[in-house]
Structure 1
Protein backbone atom coordinates (compact mmCIF):
# COMPACT_ATOMS: atom_id res chain seq x y z
CA UNK A 1 0.00 0.00 0.00
CA UNK A 2 1.16 3.52 -0.78
CA UNK A 3 1.30 6.26 1.81
CA UNK A 4 -1.97 7.67 0.52
CA UNK A 5 -5.18 7.31 2.52
CA UNK A 6 -7.27 4.45 1.17
CA UNK A 7 -11.03 4.99 1.11
CA UNK A 8 -13.44 2.05 1.21
CA UNK A 9 -16.92 2.93 -0.02
CA UNK A 10 -19.21 2.86 -3.02
CA UNK A 11 -18.45 4.64 -6.28
CA UNK A 12 -20.75 7.45 -5.30
CA UNK A 13 -21.27 10.25 -2.82
CA UNK A 14 -23.02 9.10 0.35
CA UNK A 15 -21.24 9.62 3.63
CA UNK A 16 -17.78 9.41 2.04
CA UNK A 17 -18.15 12.46 -0.17
CA UNK A 18 -17.48 15.00 2.60
CA UNK A 19 -14.32 13.07 3.46
CA UNK A 20 -13.20 13.24 -0.17
CA UNK A 21 -13.90 16.98 -0.17
CA UNK A 22 -11.88 17.54 3.00
CA UNK A 23 -8.89 15.53 1.82
CA UNK A 24 -8.95 17.41 -1.47
CA UNK A 25 -9.15 20.79 0.29
CA UNK A 26 -6.14 19.78 2.39
CA UNK A 27 -4.23 18.85 -0.77
CA UNK A 28 -4.05 15.17 0.18
CA UNK A 29 -4.06 12.58 -2.60
CA UNK A 30 -6.02 9.42 -1.87
CA UNK A 31 -6.90 6.09 -3.43
CA UNK A 32 -10.25 4.34 -3.34
CA UNK A 33 -11.59 0.79 -3.13
CA UNK A 34 -15.14 0.63 -4.44
CA UNK A 35 -17.55 -1.84 -2.90
CA UNK A 36 -19.51 -3.49 -5.69
CA UNK A 37 -20.43 -6.90 -4.22
CA UNK A 38 -21.86 -8.26 -1.01
CA UNK A 39 -18.79 -10.51 -0.74
CA UNK A 40 -16.44 -7.52 -0.40
CA UNK A 41 -18.51 -6.15 2.46
CA UNK A 42 -18.69 -9.53 4.20
CA UNK A 43 -14.91 -9.92 3.95
CA UNK A 44 -14.43 -6.57 5.71
CA UNK A 45 -16.75 -7.85 8.42
CA UNK A 46 -14.86 -11.15 8.76
CA UNK A 47 -11.56 -9.29 8.95
CA UNK A 48 -12.91 -7.21 11.82
CA UNK A 49 -12.33 -3.94 9.98
CA UNK A 50 -15.80 -2.46 10.44
CA UNK A 51 -16.23 -1.68 14.13
CA UNK A 52 -19.97 -1.05 13.82
CA UNK A 53 -20.50 -3.11 10.65
CA UNK A 54 -20.74 0.08 8.58
CA UNK A 55 -18.85 1.90 5.88
CA UNK A 56 -17.23 4.31 5.12
CA UNK A 57 -13.81 3.17 6.25
CA UNK A 58 -10.56 5.04 5.69
CA UNK A 59 -7.17 3.40 6.07
CA UNK A 60 -4.52 5.97 6.97
CA UNK A 61 -1.67 6.55 9.41
CA UNK A 62 -1.65 2.84 10.27
CA UNK A 63 -5.31 2.89 11.34
CA UNK A 64 -8.58 1.67 9.89
CA UNK A 65 -10.93 4.50 10.73
CA UNK A 66 -14.70 4.14 10.74
CA UNK A 67 -17.67 6.41 11.52
CA UNK A 68 -17.81 9.26 9.04
CA UNK A 69 -17.87 12.11 11.57
CA UNK A 70 -14.87 10.68 13.44
CA UNK A 71 -12.93 10.28 10.18
CA UNK A 72 -13.83 13.82 9.15
CA UNK A 73 -12.72 15.23 12.52
CA UNK A 74 -9.42 13.32 12.44
CA UNK A 75 -8.57 14.68 9.00
CA UNK A 76 -9.61 18.21 10.00
CA UNK A 77 -7.37 18.07 13.08
CA UNK A 78 -4.46 16.53 11.19
CA UNK A 79 -4.44 19.24 8.54
CA UNK A 80 -5.22 22.24 10.78
CA UNK A 81 -8.75 22.73 9.52
CA UNK A 82 -10.47 22.51 12.90
CA UNK A 83 -9.86 25.86 14.57
CA UNK A 84 -7.10 27.11 16.83
CA UNK A 85 -8.72 26.38 20.20
CA UNK A 86 -11.66 24.71 21.92
CA UNK A 87 -14.02 27.66 21.43
CA UNK A 88 -13.41 27.74 17.70
CA UNK A 89 -13.79 23.98 17.46
CA UNK A 90 -17.18 23.95 19.15
CA UNK A 91 -18.44 26.61 16.74
CA UNK A 92 -17.05 24.67 13.80
CA UNK A 93 -18.80 21.52 15.02
CA UNK A 94 -22.03 23.45 15.57
CA UNK A 95 -21.97 24.60 11.95
CA UNK A 96 -20.96 21.12 10.80
CA UNK A 97 -23.84 19.45 12.62
CA UNK A 98 -26.36 21.78 11.02
CA UNK A 99 -24.93 21.08 7.59
CA UNK A 100 -24.93 17.32 8.18
CA UNK A 101 -28.60 17.45 9.16
CA UNK A 102 -29.37 19.22 5.89
CA UNK A 103 -27.14 17.02 3.75
CA UNK A 104 -28.54 13.81 5.23
CA UNK A 105 -32.00 14.84 4.06
CA UNK A 106 -30.61 15.17 0.54
CA UNK A 107 -28.55 11.97 0.79
CA UNK A 108 -31.54 9.71 1.42
CA UNK A 109 -33.57 11.05 -1.53
CA UNK A 110 -32.50 8.37 -4.05
CA UNK A 111 -33.71 5.62 -1.70
CA UNK A 112 -37.25 6.99 -1.28
CA UNK A 113 -40.39 6.20 -3.25
CA UNK A 114 -41.59 8.84 -5.70
CA UNK A 115 -44.28 10.02 -3.31
CA UNK A 116 -41.87 10.19 -0.38
CA UNK A 117 -39.25 11.88 -2.55
CA UNK A 118 -41.49 14.81 -3.45
CA UNK A 119 -42.43 15.37 0.19
CA UNK A 120 -38.77 15.25 1.13
CA UNK A 121 -37.80 17.69 -1.61
CA UNK A 122 -40.43 20.14 -0.42
CA UNK A 123 -39.19 19.82 3.17
CA UNK A 124 -35.55 20.30 2.17
CA UNK A 125 -36.29 23.41 0.16
CA UNK A 126 -38.40 24.93 2.92
CA UNK A 127 -35.96 24.15 5.72
CA UNK A 128 -32.98 25.31 3.68
CA UNK A 129 -34.50 28.72 3.07
CA UNK A 130 -36.11 29.18 6.49
CA UNK A 131 -33.73 27.41 8.87
CA UNK A 132 -30.28 26.62 7.51
CA UNK A 133 -29.15 29.13 4.89
CA UNK A 134 -29.98 32.22 7.02
CA UNK A 135 -27.62 30.95 9.74
CA UNK A 136 -24.65 30.79 7.37
CA UNK A 137 -25.57 34.01 5.60
CA UNK A 138 -25.50 35.82 8.96
CA UNK A 139 -22.25 34.13 10.03
CA UNK A 140 -20.55 35.38 6.84
CA UNK A 141 -21.81 38.96 7.18
CA UNK A 142 -18.42 40.55 7.86
CA UNK A 143 -15.90 37.72 7.41
CA UNK A 144 -14.54 35.53 4.63
CA UNK A 145 -14.77 32.24 6.55
CA UNK A 146 -17.19 30.90 9.15
CA UNK A 147 -14.90 30.65 12.20
CA UNK A 148 -11.78 32.63 13.12
CA UNK A 149 -11.75 34.14 9.62
CA UNK A 150 -9.60 31.18 8.55
CA UNK A 151 -10.43 28.23 6.33
CA UNK A 152 -11.85 25.33 8.34
CA UNK A 153 -13.63 22.06 7.66
CA UNK A 154 -16.95 23.88 8.22
CA UNK A 155 -16.27 26.05 5.18
CA UNK A 156 -15.55 22.99 3.07
CA UNK A 157 -18.76 21.33 4.26
CA UNK A 158 -20.76 24.51 3.60
CA UNK A 159 -19.51 24.70 0.02
CA UNK A 160 -20.38 21.06 -0.57
CA UNK A 161 -23.87 21.54 0.92
CA UNK A 162 -24.70 24.66 -1.07
CA UNK A 163 -23.57 23.05 -4.31
CA UNK A 164 -25.80 20.06 -3.53
CA UNK A 165 -28.74 22.41 -3.00
CA UNK A 166 -28.05 24.21 -6.27
CA UNK A 167 -28.17 20.90 -8.12
CA UNK A 168 -31.81 20.65 -7.03
CA UNK A 169 -32.70 24.35 -7.07
CA UNK A 170 -30.25 26.42 -9.18
CA UNK A 171 -31.57 29.76 -7.85
CA UNK A 172 -31.84 28.82 -4.17
CA UNK A 173 -29.05 31.25 -3.16
CA UNK A 174 -30.62 34.23 -4.93
CA UNK A 175 -31.51 35.94 -1.65
CA UNK A 176 -28.26 34.99 0.07
CA UNK A 177 -25.55 37.24 -1.41
CA UNK A 178 -22.98 36.50 1.31
CA UNK A 179 -23.23 32.79 0.55
CA UNK A 180 -22.87 33.46 -3.16
CA UNK A 181 -19.72 35.49 -2.53
CA UNK A 182 -18.46 32.77 -0.17
CA UNK A 183 -18.89 30.18 -2.90
CA UNK A 184 -16.82 32.30 -5.25
CA UNK A 185 -13.98 32.62 -2.74
CA UNK A 186 -13.99 28.91 -1.97
CA UNK A 187 -13.99 27.89 -5.63
CA UNK A 188 -10.93 30.09 -6.19
CA UNK A 189 -8.85 28.15 -3.63
CA UNK A 190 -6.46 26.08 -5.81
CA UNK A 191 -7.03 22.69 -4.13
CA UNK A 192 -10.80 23.15 -4.23
CA UNK A 193 -10.75 24.47 -7.79
CA UNK A 194 -8.87 21.33 -8.81
CA UNK A 195 -11.42 19.08 -7.09
CA UNK A 196 -14.24 20.82 -8.96
CA UNK A 197 -12.70 20.08 -12.36
CA UNK A 198 -13.93 17.22 -14.56
CA UNK A 199 -11.96 14.04 -13.98
CA UNK A 200 -11.39 14.61 -10.26
CA UNK A 201 -12.44 12.14 -7.58
CA UNK A 202 -15.54 14.18 -6.82
CA UNK A 203 -18.60 12.02 -7.42
CA UNK A 204 -21.64 12.96 -9.50
CA UNK A 205 -25.17 12.98 -8.08
CA UNK A 206 -26.35 9.45 -7.30
CA UNK A 207 -27.92 7.50 -10.13
CA UNK A 208 -29.85 4.24 -10.37
CA UNK A 209 -26.66 2.17 -10.66
CA UNK A 210 -25.32 3.63 -7.40
CA UNK A 211 -28.62 2.99 -5.60
CA UNK A 212 -28.80 -0.61 -6.83
CA UNK A 213 -25.20 -1.28 -5.80
CA UNK A 214 -25.79 0.06 -2.29
CA UNK A 215 -28.93 -2.05 -1.97
CA UNK A 216 -27.10 -5.17 -3.14
CA UNK A 217 -24.04 -4.75 -0.92
CA UNK A 218 -26.07 -3.71 2.13
CA UNK A 219 -29.00 -5.99 1.39
CA UNK A 220 -29.59 -6.64 5.11
CA UNK A 221 -30.68 -3.02 5.49
CA UNK A 222 -33.24 -3.19 2.68
CA UNK A 223 -34.84 -6.58 3.26
Structure 2
Protein backbone atom coordinates (compact mmCIF):
# COMPACT_ATOMS: atom_id res chain seq x y z
CA UNK A 1 0.00 0.00 0.00
CA UNK A 2 1.43 3.38 -0.99
CA UNK A 3 1.74 6.47 1.19
CA UNK A 4 -0.86 8.22 -0.97
CA UNK A 5 -4.37 8.77 0.33
CA UNK A 6 -6.75 6.92 -1.98
CA UNK A 7 -10.53 7.13 -1.87
CA UNK A 8 -12.72 4.34 -3.24
CA UNK A 9 -16.25 5.42 -4.05
CA UNK A 10 -18.54 6.48 -6.86
CA UNK A 11 -17.93 9.59 -8.92
CA UNK A 12 -20.45 11.49 -6.86
CA UNK A 13 -21.08 12.92 -3.44
CA UNK A 14 -22.70 10.40 -1.14
CA UNK A 15 -20.97 9.74 2.16
CA UNK A 16 -17.53 10.26 0.65
CA UNK A 17 -18.11 13.97 0.05
CA UNK A 18 -17.65 14.89 3.71
CA UNK A 19 -14.35 13.02 3.67
CA UNK A 20 -13.26 14.92 0.57
CA UNK A 21 -14.18 18.18 2.29
CA UNK A 22 -12.24 17.40 5.44
CA UNK A 23 -9.12 16.21 3.62
CA UNK A 24 -9.23 19.37 1.51
CA UNK A 25 -9.45 21.65 4.54
CA UNK A 26 -6.62 19.69 6.14
CA UNK A 27 -4.57 20.34 2.96
CA UNK A 28 -4.19 16.62 2.27
CA UNK A 29 -3.92 15.60 -1.36
CA UNK A 30 -5.84 12.49 -2.36
CA UNK A 31 -6.45 10.29 -5.35
CA UNK A 32 -9.77 8.69 -6.23
CA UNK A 33 -10.75 5.33 -7.64
CA UNK A 34 -14.29 5.50 -8.94
CA UNK A 35 -16.47 2.42 -8.79
CA UNK A 36 -18.20 2.00 -12.13
CA UNK A 37 -18.72 -1.76 -12.36
CA UNK A 38 -19.90 -4.51 -10.05
CA UNK A 39 -16.66 -6.40 -10.67
CA UNK A 40 -14.69 -3.60 -8.98
CA UNK A 41 -16.89 -3.86 -5.91
CA UNK A 42 -16.66 -7.65 -5.82
CA UNK A 43 -12.87 -7.47 -6.06
CA UNK A 44 -12.75 -5.17 -3.04
CA UNK A 45 -14.88 -7.72 -1.20
CA UNK A 46 -12.66 -10.61 -2.28
CA UNK A 47 -9.55 -8.70 -1.20
CA UNK A 48 -11.01 -8.19 2.26
CA UNK A 49 -10.84 -4.41 1.92
CA UNK A 50 -14.43 -3.77 2.99
CA UNK A 51 -14.88 -4.77 6.62
CA UNK A 52 -18.67 -4.45 6.50
CA UNK A 53 -19.06 -4.85 2.72
CA UNK A 54 -19.68 -1.11 2.37
CA UNK A 55 -18.01 1.96 0.93
CA UNK A 56 -16.60 4.60 1.52
CA UNK A 57 -13.14 3.05 1.69
CA UNK A 58 -10.08 5.20 2.36
CA UNK A 59 -6.50 3.94 2.10
CA UNK A 60 -4.45 6.09 4.46
CA UNK A 61 -1.38 5.64 6.66
CA UNK A 62 -1.09 1.98 5.78
CA UNK A 63 -4.69 1.27 6.75
CA UNK A 64 -7.90 0.51 4.92
CA UNK A 65 -10.46 2.67 6.68
CA UNK A 66 -14.22 2.16 6.48
CA UNK A 67 -17.25 3.67 8.23
CA UNK A 68 -17.68 7.38 7.54
CA UNK A 69 -17.77 8.62 11.14
CA UNK A 70 -14.63 6.68 12.04
CA UNK A 71 -12.80 8.03 8.99
CA UNK A 72 -13.81 11.61 9.75
CA UNK A 73 -12.74 11.26 13.38
CA UNK A 74 -9.37 9.82 12.37
CA UNK A 75 -8.69 12.67 9.94
CA UNK A 76 -9.90 15.20 12.51
CA UNK A 77 -7.60 13.79 15.20
CA UNK A 78 -4.59 13.57 12.91
CA UNK A 79 -4.89 17.12 11.62
CA UNK A 80 -5.98 18.81 14.85
CA UNK A 81 -9.56 19.37 13.70
CA UNK A 82 -11.34 17.48 16.46
CA UNK A 83 -11.14 19.63 19.59
CA UNK A 84 -8.38 19.88 22.16
CA UNK A 85 -9.96 18.03 25.11
CA UNK A 86 -12.68 15.42 25.76
CA UNK A 87 -15.41 18.03 26.30
CA UNK A 88 -14.64 19.76 23.02
CA UNK A 89 -14.37 16.45 21.18
CA UNK A 90 -17.80 15.29 22.31
CA UNK A 91 -19.32 18.63 21.26
CA UNK A 92 -17.69 18.29 17.85
CA UNK A 93 -19.09 14.77 17.57
CA UNK A 94 -22.60 15.83 18.56
CA UNK A 95 -22.68 18.66 16.03
CA UNK A 96 -21.13 16.42 13.36
CA UNK A 97 -23.59 13.58 13.86
CA UNK A 98 -26.56 15.93 13.72
CA UNK A 99 -25.28 17.37 10.46
CA UNK A 100 -24.68 13.92 9.03
CA UNK A 101 -28.25 12.93 9.91
CA UNK A 102 -29.53 15.90 7.93
CA UNK A 103 -27.21 15.35 4.98
CA UNK A 104 -28.15 11.68 4.80
CA UNK A 105 -31.75 12.73 4.26
CA UNK A 106 -30.61 14.67 1.22
CA UNK A 107 -28.45 11.81 -0.03
CA UNK A 108 -31.53 9.60 -0.40
CA UNK A 109 -33.39 12.10 -2.58
CA UNK A 110 -32.04 10.85 -5.94
CA UNK A 111 -33.19 7.32 -5.05
CA UNK A 112 -36.68 8.34 -4.03
CA UNK A 113 -39.72 7.79 -6.24
CA UNK A 114 -41.30 10.94 -4.81
CA UNK A 115 -38.57 13.40 -3.75
CA UNK A 116 -41.01 16.31 -3.37
CA UNK A 117 -42.44 14.94 -0.11
CA UNK A 118 -38.94 14.32 1.25
CA UNK A 119 -37.86 17.82 0.25
CA UNK A 120 -40.66 19.33 2.31
CA UNK A 121 -39.66 17.23 5.31
CA UNK A 122 -36.02 18.26 4.94
CA UNK A 123 -36.92 21.93 4.70
CA UNK A 124 -39.14 21.74 7.79
CA UNK A 125 -36.63 19.83 9.89
CA UNK A 126 -33.82 22.12 8.78
CA UNK A 127 -35.71 25.21 9.85
CA UNK A 128 -37.17 23.82 13.05
CA UNK A 129 -34.68 21.25 14.35
CA UNK A 130 -31.19 21.66 12.90
CA UNK A 131 -30.39 25.22 11.81
CA UNK A 132 -31.55 26.84 15.10
CA UNK A 133 -28.95 24.76 16.95
CA UNK A 134 -26.11 26.15 14.85
CA UNK A 135 -27.50 29.67 14.78
CA UNK A 136 -27.38 29.69 18.59
CA UNK A 137 -23.94 28.06 18.77
CA UNK A 138 -22.48 30.70 16.44
CA UNK A 139 -23.83 33.64 18.42
CA UNK A 140 -20.70 35.67 19.13
CA UNK A 141 -18.49 32.77 18.02
CA UNK A 142 -16.30 32.42 14.94
CA UNK A 143 -16.40 28.62 15.06
CA UNK A 144 -18.71 26.06 16.66
CA UNK A 145 -16.36 24.60 19.28
CA UNK A 146 -13.44 26.12 21.18
CA UNK A 147 -13.29 29.12 18.87
CA UNK A 148 -11.12 27.01 16.55
CA UNK A 149 -11.78 25.33 13.21
CA UNK A 150 -12.93 21.72 13.60
CA UNK A 151 -14.51 19.08 11.43
CA UNK A 152 -17.91 20.19 12.74
CA UNK A 153 -17.42 23.54 10.99
CA UNK A 154 -16.43 21.80 7.76
CA UNK A 155 -19.54 19.61 7.87
CA UNK A 156 -21.74 22.60 8.64
CA UNK A 157 -20.46 24.44 5.58
CA UNK A 158 -20.96 21.37 3.38
CA UNK A 159 -24.48 20.94 4.75
CA UNK A 160 -25.66 24.53 4.29
CA UNK A 161 -24.31 24.60 0.75
CA UNK A 162 -26.32 21.46 0.01
CA UNK A 163 -29.41 23.03 1.55
CA UNK A 164 -29.04 26.21 -0.49
CA UNK A 165 -28.96 24.16 -3.68
CA UNK A 166 -32.49 23.00 -2.88
CA UNK A 167 -33.76 25.98 -0.87
CA UNK A 168 -31.89 29.13 -1.97
CA UNK A 169 -33.40 31.35 0.75
CA UNK A 170 -33.11 28.91 3.63
CA UNK A 171 -30.53 30.98 5.53
CA UNK A 172 -32.54 34.20 5.34
CA UNK A 173 -33.55 33.88 9.01
CA UNK A 174 -30.18 32.59 10.21
CA UNK A 175 -27.80 35.53 10.10
CA UNK A 176 -25.10 33.91 12.24
CA UNK A 177 -24.91 30.90 9.96
CA UNK A 178 -24.84 33.13 6.89
CA UNK A 179 -21.95 35.12 8.36
CA UNK A 180 -20.19 31.85 9.22
CA UNK A 181 -20.58 30.73 5.61
CA UNK A 182 -18.96 33.93 4.42
CA UNK A 183 -15.99 33.43 6.74
CA UNK A 184 -15.52 29.79 5.80
CA UNK A 185 -15.56 30.39 2.06
CA UNK A 186 -12.65 32.82 2.47
CA UNK A 187 -10.38 30.04 3.73
CA UNK A 188 -7.97 29.38 0.87
CA UNK A 189 -8.46 25.61 0.70
CA UNK A 190 -12.25 26.01 0.85
CA UNK A 191 -12.24 28.72 -1.81
CA UNK A 192 -10.25 26.48 -4.17
CA UNK A 193 -12.51 23.50 -3.49
CA UNK A 194 -15.54 25.54 -4.49
CA UNK A 195 -14.06 26.43 -7.88
CA UNK A 196 -14.87 24.52 -11.10
CA UNK A 197 -12.46 21.68 -11.75
CA UNK A 198 -11.86 20.78 -8.11
CA UNK A 199 -12.49 17.34 -6.62
CA UNK A 200 -15.80 18.53 -5.20
CA UNK A 201 -18.64 16.61 -6.77
CA UNK A 202 -21.80 18.09 -8.33
CA UNK A 203 -25.33 17.24 -7.33
CA UNK A 204 -26.12 13.59 -8.16
CA UNK A 205 -27.71 12.96 -11.53
CA UNK A 206 -29.38 10.00 -13.23
CA UNK A 207 -26.03 8.54 -14.31
CA UNK A 208 -24.83 8.52 -10.71
CA UNK A 209 -27.98 6.73 -9.57
CA UNK A 210 -27.73 4.21 -12.40
CA UNK A 211 -24.09 3.43 -11.58
CA UNK A 212 -24.77 2.93 -7.87
CA UNK A 213 -27.65 0.57 -8.62
CA UNK A 214 -25.61 -1.44 -11.11
CA UNK A 215 -22.59 -1.78 -8.80
CA UNK A 216 -24.71 -3.06 -5.92
CA UNK A 217 -27.08 -5.01 -8.18
CA UNK A 218 -30.02 -4.00 -6.01
CA UNK A 219 -33.44 -2.74 -7.04
CA UNK A 220 -33.59 -0.71 -3.83
CA UNK A 221 -30.59 0.73 -2.11
CA UNK A 222 -29.47 1.29 1.45
CA UNK A 223 -28.31 4.76 2.45
CA UNK A 224 -25.16 5.71 0.51
What is the TM-score of this pair, normalised by structure 2? 0.97
2:210 counterpart of 1:200: no
2:24 is matched with 24
1:12 is matched with 12
2:74 is matched with 74
Q: Secondary structure at the match of 1:31?
A: strand
| Higher deviation after alignment, 212-221 or 120-129 | 212-221
Q: How far has the Cα of 1:219 moved from its partner?
A: 1.3
Does the 8 A contact of 2:22 with 2:151 survive in 1? yes
Q: 1:222 aligns with which of 216, 220, 223?
A: 220
Instruction: Give the distance between the partners of 1:221 and 1:141, measured in 2 at CA.
Output: 45
- Identify unmatched segments of 5+ residues in structure 1: none
2:145 is matched with 147
Pair 49,221 (structure 1): closer, same or farther in 2 beyond 3 Å: farther
- List aligned pairs for 1:159-178, cutoff 5 A: 159-178=157-176
| Residues 97-125 of structure 1: per-residue CA shift (max 9 Å, x gap) | 110110010000000003xx111100000
Q: 2:181 aligns with which of 164, 167, 183?
A: 183
Aligned residue pairs, count: 221
- Identify unmatched segments of 5+ residues in structure 2: none
Instruction: Give the distance between the partners of 1:26 and 1:207, measured in 2 at CA.
Output: 28
Q: Secondary structure at the match of 1:188?
A: coil
Instruction: Give the distance between the partners of 1:45 and 1:65, measured in 2 at CA.
Output: 14
What is the TM-score of this pair, normalised by structure 1? 0.97
Pair 152,107 (structure 1): closer, same or farther in 2 beyond 3 Å: same
Does the 8 A contact of 2:3 with 2:62 survive in 1? no
| Residues 127-160 of structure 1: per-residue CA shift (max 9 Å, x gap) | 0001100000000001100000000000000000
| Residues 21-80 of structure 1: per-residue CA shift (max 9 Å, x gap) | 000000111000000000000000000100000001000100000111111110011100
Q: How far has the Cα of 1:2 moved from its partner?
A: 5.1
2:51 counterpart of 1:37: no
2:117 is matched with 119
Runs of 4+ displaced beyond 4 Å: none
How large is the Cα RMSD of the aligned pairs? 1.1
